[in-house]
Amino acid sequence: MADIEGDIFDIIAEKAAVDRGKIHANAKLEELEVESLDVVEIIFAIEEKFDVDIPFNANDQELEFKTVNDVVKAVEGLIAESAG
């Protein structure tokens, strides 16, 4: 699972133009200045990388990704699901 986390950190760094060194599990996306359109692009890149479908709707206020770890956990869950 460590690889998944690392890959997601890389994707966030690239798509939102954030310094890779500032990204850690508990970092809040807002504090990293990841904008809403960046989130959509990050999710797209993750879906392509791991071949999963992330059920993310930008209008759904319940399902918001607040921290980097929220994204990692969601992807790990989906990968485990598709492997199972």
- The radius of gyration computed from the CA coordinates of the chain, to the nearest angstrom, equals 12
Closest separation in Å from C-beta 43 to another protein: 7
Total residues interacting with another protein, rule: CB under 8 A: 13
Which of 66, 64, 69, 75 minimizes the C-alpha distance to 24?
A: 69
Does 8 engage in binding with another protein (CB under 8 A)?
A: no
Q: Pick from 56, 65, 68, 72: which binds another protein (CB under 8 A)?
A: 56
Closest separation in Å from C-beta 26 to another protein: 24
Does 73 engage in binding with another protein (CB under 8 A)?
A: no
DSSP-derived secondary structure letter, 25:
T
Question: Which H or E run contains 71?
Answer: helix 68-83
